[in-house]
Structure 1
Amino acid sequence: MHTTIEELLSRTAARDPEAFRALYDRTVSRQLVIARRILPRNDLAEEAVHDAFVSIWHSADRFRPEAGSALGWICTIVRRRAIDRLRASPWLHRELTLLPEGDYRSADTTPEERLALEQCLAELSAHVRTAIRLAYLYGMTHSELSARLDMPLGTLKSQLRRGLASLRECLSR
């Protein structure tokens, strides 16, 4: 019989270390991918995932199945830990701006698709391009982007909307 992630999380809430180990083994690789998309270094992503699983061990009883899937709940905790780590490190913010333009790290795209995306991004203004990268590659919220780019929230949202529309149009050519 295959134990579901929900069952493992429920048993983890009851402080079953074997269930927690199985939950970790079953989900950790996906969690590392999530953290790695937000954080620019593997060691930082591993630390964020470790912190998230410590939190999961202590708060598994807070999971509510009616609010969503167990895997979604775990992914949210990992994403938040990675973003918290990103926000807490001023030097890491600087490091993000130094990443190569085409650092997309996605196994879902081909080199040709990445090149097309880069070419379409190059057609956008620098601040819109930066906002799109920070939002979609590093998971920054609109409020975080607004503060980081020193731009009113409404203006940022409008520019993101127009930028994404331009990207869609460019990529469909």
Structure 2
Amino acid sequence: MSIVDELVERVDDQDRVLGVVSRRQAVREGWLHRVAVTVCRDAGGRIIVTRRSERLSRFPELHEVVVGGAVGVGESYEQAAARELTEELGVRVRPRLLFTFLNRSGLSPHWLGVHEAVVPDAVTADPDEIAWYGWLTEPELRSALLKWRFTPDSHEAFSRYLAFRLRPRNARS
């Protein structure tokens, strides 16, 4: 399976739209585009961890701390995050955008919008995307990050997510 050839907005280093390109071209050329991801917690505070399907072209069989994908043309980070949660986990919730950053880890550089959402314990994972999922406490997740193979985005997004949560509320943007 190759990279899905969806249309995305090419953006600059200030996250301003430059034009519309295929995602395949953006990745191949190293052009900046947008990706939206969500850290999903259950009512008890555990975080969902998924293992990508072996059929995926990008990072097959690696674990992820976030659920998400490319932001489509005309979509906001929040709209893309909500769409991805529905597609990948079968849940309809409104994720909250916490922050964005220019992420240079992974397949190609991109702006990453990191969200948070509380989702039900029982999700319907899309088997084309997710081979396995489980709910981990933060200490369990910290241990897993050292032992399991995770996507580059997972390490970067989760470390920034934890740092964001530790900031005083009045210092958050």
TM-score by length of 1: 0.28
TM-score (norm 2): 0.28
